Amino acid sequence: MAESASGKREEFEREALVHLDTLYNVALRLCGNASDAEDLVQDTVTKAYRSWDKYEQGTNCRAWLVTIMRNTFINQFRKESKRPSSVEFDAVQDISVFEEVQERDPEGSFFHLIVDNEVKRAIQELPEEFRLPVVLSDVEGLSYAEIAEILGLPVGTVKSRLFRGRRRLQQRLYEYALEMGYIR
Partner 1 sequence: MNAFWQSLKGRMSKQPGGIDCKGVLAKLYEYIDGELDEETIEKVRVHIEKCKLCYPRYNFEAAFVRFLGEQGRASVPDELRRRVFESILEEESSN
Residues that bind partner 1 (CB under 8 A): 5-6, 8-9, 12-13, 17, 20-21, 23-25, 28, 34, 38, 41-42, 45-46, 49-50, 96-98, 101-102, 106-109, 111-112, 116, 119-120, 123, 134, 137-141, 143-144, 159, 162-163, 166, 169-170
Closest approach of Cβ 153 to partner 1, in Å? Answer: 15
State which residue, 81 or 131, has the beta carbon closest to partner 1. 131
Closest approach of Cβ 183 to partner 1, in Å? Answer: 13
Closest approach of Cβ 9 to partner 1, in Å? Answer: 5
CB 42 within 8 A of CB 52: no
Residue 117 burial (C-beta neighbours within 10 Å; 0-12, 13-18, 19+)? exposed
CA distance 20 to 26: 10
CB 144 within 8 A of CB 158: yes
State which residue, 60 or 96, has the beta carbon closest to partner 1. 96
CA distance 144 to 116: 25
Closest approach of Cβ 5 to partner 1, in Å? Answer: 5
Going from the C-alpha of 109 to that of each of 17, 102, 122, 151, the distances in angstroms are: 37, 11, 18, 33
